[in-house]
């Protein structure tokens, strides 16, 4: 089946999964030329086998809240592809989680992980449980209940989960603790663990830092320095925080942060001191970003995203489809020069088309946010050899990986007029690696 037919057939088979279809369509459109040069792929029905997950676990999680009420949530693990390494990908706890979202994330993860050059397959898991407003004990009981089912499907050489939206060090700690108790083994079955029990230095920073390293490589292709550039950052979780931190270190000026209620705009720039407040607000107090505006007396806009503000660079670091066509047009009209995605699939297809038509430096999340999972891969290596590497060592490896991903995007994505199509480059590089591995391993 050729690429177009596969998309049509998937649309018929999974009509209620728009995010999954969106992610698949983007990849298949951009690999079409390369795919057509390999008739052996078509004979092996490779695309269909690569688009449909290997298996999906769907289960109910029951837990008891602080009032003694029994709660239920839906929970999942999508094991998408294992051709180049054990299944690997985060866990998302958010009220919006459904199968379409986890299937898109697991699909994207497969190509992203291939791009890192490390041996990791693709997976994603999660639940419609929302940690927001829950007590520590409730979060712990939920994590333990989720692991009661999940533990039998994961393992250091099978499937290695980590964090994502709603799952940070606290949740990973509770899940890892329950895993080790149930499996009666101490192995690196989760990444993003605490430093005391096998976590890697730089893992919390890695997604945000990596995105800024990638951005610097993009800017360098046009001889632009990041110093002094005004930046719009969305989100206020782990990715957004460490994106700001690296921007500040390199002399750029982050102006905004957001959450699902609204965004703050700090015309003086978010400094390291203000960022420390944000880290405490989000990780310890578990408050809302509005409180930043109250503390520092700057603008807060309820119910909106920051894309209408004027700046040089945008780093969407919140969630999928957070930049639509109208937002993208506003960014272009305001003279934005680069968009580096820290979140997974934050731009809609309409937005991407607008960025590319304007010939912006635009990187898809699967390339520029791959530093997070890459450092998870480094955590797996450290766990296997029962050693831990220094921050400098991990950071140097992260920089090398991001530079390599950038080089691959340039290699596979440069168009005849010299414009680097990072979407095409990332998709072709990721696809070819997984496709070759699958071909070599036969029809299974």
- Residue (107 or 265) nearer to ligand GLU, CB: 107
Exactly one of 88, 103, 112, 124 is catalytic; name it. Answer: 124
Q: Give the number of residues in contact with ligand GLU, rule: CB under 6 A.
A: 10
The answer to whether 135 and 66 have CB atoms below 8 angstroms apart is yes
Least distance (Å) from ligand GLU to the CB of residue 90? 3
- Residue (92 or 274) nearer to ligand GLU, CB: 92
Binding residues among 189-218 for ligand GLU as defined by CB under 6 A: 191
Determine which residue in the list 127, 211, 363, 376 makes contact with ligand GLU, applying CB under 6 A: 376
Closest of 2, 22, 1 to residue 11, by C-alpha: 22
Stretch touching ligand GLU by CB under 6 A, among 54-62, 74-82, 145-153, 371-379: 371-379
Q: Which helix (H) or strand (E) holds 372?
A: helix 371-385
Tokens of 107: 């699909």
Which residue is it, tokens 């499996």?
183
- Residue (117 or 331) nearer to ligand GLU, CB: 117
Report the alpha-carbon distance of residue 163 to residue 144 in Å, rounded. 15
Q: Which residue is nearest to ligand GLU (CB)?
A: 90
Binding residues among 283-302 for ligand GLU as defined by CB under 6 A: none
- Residue 44 exposed, middle or buried by CB count within 10 Å (0-12, 13-18, 19+): middle
Q: Which residues are 420's β-sheet partners? A: 414
Least distance (Å) from ligand GLU to the CB of residue 188? 12
Stretch touching ligand GLU by CB under 6 A, among 295-303, 306-314, 372-380, 384-392: 372-380
Least distance (Å) from ligand GLU to the CB of residue 154? 12
Least distance (Å) from ligand GLU to the CB of residue 123? 8
Determine which residue in the list 90, 168, 254, 346 makes contact with ligand GLU, applying CB under 6 A: 90
Least distance (Å) from ligand GLU to the CB of residue 342? 10
Query: What's the chain's Rg over C-alpha atoms?
Result: 21
Torsion of CA 203, 312, 331, 262, to 10 degrees: 50
- Residue (301 or 430) nearer to ligand GLU, CB: 430
Q: Which helix (H) or strand (E) holds 233?
A: strand 230-233
Taking CA atoms, 18 is separated from 15, 21, 24, 174, in Å, by 7, 5, 10, 32
SS3 track for 131-197? CCCCCHHHHHHHHHHHHHHHHHHCECCCEEEECECCECHHHHHHHHHHHHHHHCCCCCCCCCCCHHH
Site string for ligand GLU, 249-268 (x = CB under 6 A): --------------------
Between vectors from CA 134 to CA 129 and to CA 140, what angle results, nearest 5°? 75
Report the alpha-carbon distance of residue 41 to residue 432 in Å, rounded. 11
Determine which residue in the list 147, 301, 373, 380 makes contact with ligand GLU, applying CB under 6 A: 373
- Residue (160 or 233) nearer to ligand GLU, CB: 160
Stretch touching ligand GLU by CB under 6 A, among 213-221, 226-234, 319-327, 368-376: 368-376
Least distance (Å) from ligand GLU to the CB of residue 373? 4
Least distance (Å) from ligand GLU to the CB of residue 215? 17
| Residue 358 burial (CB count, 10 A) | 15
Report the alpha-carbon distance of residue 106 to residue 124 in Å, rounded. 5
Taking CA atoms, 183 is separated from 52, 156, 170, in Å, by 29, 11, 20
- 335: three-class secondary structure by DSSP: coil
Task: Indicate whether 401 belongs to the interface with ligand GLU (CB under 6 A).
Answer: no
Least distance (Å) from ligand GLU to the CB of residue 58? 20
Task: Indicate whether 89 belongs to the interface with ligand GLU (CB under 6 A).
Answer: yes
- Residue (10 or 115) nearer to ligand GLU, CB: 115
Site string for ligand GLU, 307-346 (x = CB under 6 A): -------------------------------------x--
The answer to whether 85 and 113 have CB atoms below 8 angstroms apart is yes
Determine which residue in the list 77, 80, 88, 397 makes contact with ligand GLU, applying CB under 6 A: 88
Residue 124 a catalytic site member: yes
Task: Indicate whether 408 belongs to the interface with ligand GLU (CB under 6 A).
Answer: no
Binding residues among 106-165 for ligand GLU as defined by CB under 6 A: 162, 164
Catalytically annotated residues? 124
Which residues contact ligand GLU by CB under 6 A?
88-90, 162, 164, 191, 344, 372-373, 376
């Amino acid at each position: 089946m050729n690429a177009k037919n596969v998309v049509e057939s998937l649309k018929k088979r999974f009509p209620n999964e728009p995010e999954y279809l969106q992610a698949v369509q983007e990849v298949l459109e951009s690999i079409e030329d390369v795919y057509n040069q390999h008739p052996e792929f078509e004979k092996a029905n490779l695309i269909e086998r690569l688009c449909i997950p290997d298996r999906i676990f769907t289960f109910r999680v029951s837990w008891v809240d602080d009032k003694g009420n029994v709660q239920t949530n839906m929970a999942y693990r999508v094991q998408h592809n294992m051709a180049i390494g054990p299944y690997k990908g985060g866990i998302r706890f958010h009220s919006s989680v459904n199968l379409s979202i986890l299937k898109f994330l697991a699909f994207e993860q497969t190509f992203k992980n291939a791009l890192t050059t490390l041996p990791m397959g693709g997976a994603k898991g999660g639940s419609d449980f929302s940690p927001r407003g829950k007590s520590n004990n409730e979060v712990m009981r939920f994590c333990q209940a989720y692991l009661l089912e999940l533990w039998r499907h994961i393992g250091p050489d099978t499937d290695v989960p980590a964090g994502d939206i709603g799952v940070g060090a606290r949740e990973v700690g509770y899940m890892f603790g329950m895993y080790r108790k149930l499996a009666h083994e101490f192995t690196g079955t989760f990444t993003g663990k605490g430093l005391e029990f096998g976590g890697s230095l730089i893992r919390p920073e890695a997604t945000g830092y990596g995105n800024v390293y990638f951005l610097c490589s993009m800017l360098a292709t046009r001889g632009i320095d990041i110093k002094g550039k005004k930046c719009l950052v969305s989100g206020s979780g782990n990715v957004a925080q460490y994106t700001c931190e690296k921007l500040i270190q390199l002399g750029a000026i982050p102006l905004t942060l957001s959450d699902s209620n609204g965004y703050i705009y700090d015309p003086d720039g978010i400094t390291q001191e203000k960022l420390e407040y944000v880290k405490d607000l989000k990780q310890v107090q578990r408050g809302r970003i509005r409180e930043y505006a109250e503390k520092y007396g700057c603008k807060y806009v309820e119910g909106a995203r920051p894309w209408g503000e004027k700046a040089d660079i945008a780093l969407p670091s919140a969630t999928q489809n957070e930049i639509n066509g109208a937002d993208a047009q506003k960014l272009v009209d305001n003279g934005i020069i680069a968009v580096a995605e820290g979140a997974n699939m934050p731009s809609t297809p309409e937005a991407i088309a607008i960025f590319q038509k304007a010939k912006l430096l635009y990187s898809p999340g699967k390339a520029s946010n791959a530093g997070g999972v890459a450092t998870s891969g480094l955590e797996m290596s450290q766990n296997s050899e029962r050693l831990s590497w220094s921050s400098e060592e991990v950071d140097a490896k992260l920089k090398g990986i991001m530079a390599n991903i950038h080089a691959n995007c340039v290699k596979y994505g440069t168009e005849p007029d010299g414009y680097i199509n990072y979407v095409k480059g990332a998709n072709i590089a990721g696809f070819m690696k997984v496709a070759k591995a699958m071909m070599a391993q036969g029809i299974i």
